[in-house]
Structure 1
């Protein structure tokens, strides 16, 4: 078995702590969404369309940090359930835009009250200052060393 130095051990412990935290937070935030038969990605797409309007599939992939293959399945399932619709862009007929339907709006309105309460219950263990600091630290970690040098 390899002996790790102190820095390597801190990195390993941070990874385990971050993974456990993510799992714990998700289990408290997403139950209502799963109860309504949505995946986290489906919810992310509906939430994006609800708050920001129409997007093409490429933009949805970028904004939800999903892969193309996954997003095709997600969009097809949401279309099948009648939560979203596709339509040609008025400006560029080559482009297909995806938007939320009234059925999707109704579902999201139903879910969001509980979701917001779950967020409050989960994140209110932190002060506002701690939330700001943690947000900045997670952004820094997410960007990585390469982006830091730019």
Structure 2
């Protein structure tokens, strides 16, 4: 059995490597798809908009923990690429609603399928007990980060 310091070192290396690997795999998957004109960041903006509703710019910026100005830059690019539509509401012209176009919905589904496959293949070889322990441990890690760094969920 390893000591606590070794466990911390291994866990740190694993979390950092997993994070990098997932982003790298997402990037390669995108580049080899019909959506190669998108970056991983743009995919995550599309994911935050959601597939089945209009959302305000403020809601999406809040969910992504970015400013509305930063989101506006991303949305302008996504509109030019044909993935997002934007409109102001008549009752209050300050409110800007964004929705996915059909093309945006296609990439949303593509990305959702990528994540579903990744999780399915990850836990397929696990026993129920291993799966339960993994989910419990990851919930604790996530809860720690949310509390320690005041993340909004």
Q: Compute the TM-score of the two structures, normalised by the length of structure 1.
A: 0.68
Considering fraction of residues, name the structure with more helix: 1
**Structure 2 CA distance, aligned partners of 1:102 and 1:86?**
14
Summarize deviations over 1:12-41 as a string: whole Å, max 9, x none.
Answer: 321111111222334445533233222222
Contact 1:33 1:43 in 2 (8 A): no
> Which digits, 9 at most, give the CA deviation of each residue in 1:81-139, with x for residues without a partner?
12101111355432101111123234445x35862445433443445654454344333
Which contiguous aligned blocks of 4+ residues in structure 1 show a shift greater than 6 angstroms? Answer: none
Give the unaligned 5+ runs of structure 2: 149-153
Q: Which residue of 2 aligns with 1:3?
A: none
TM-score (norm 2): 0.67
Q: Work out which structure has the larger RCO, using CA pairs closer than 8 Å and 6 or more positions apart in sequence.
A: 1
Give the gaps of 5 or more residues in structure 1.
1-5
Residue equivalent to 1:103: 103
Check if 1:18 corresponds to 2:15.
yes
Q: Counterpart of 1:67?
A: 66
CA contact (8 A) 1:79 1:85 kept: yes
Deviation at 1:73, TM superposition (A): 3.0
- Partners in 1 of 2:57 and 2:128 — Cα distance? 35
CA RMSD of aligned residues (A): 3.2
Q: Superposed, which structure 2 residues align to 1:83-94 within 5 Å?
A: 83-89=83-89, 92-94=92-94
Count residues with an aligned counterpart: 141
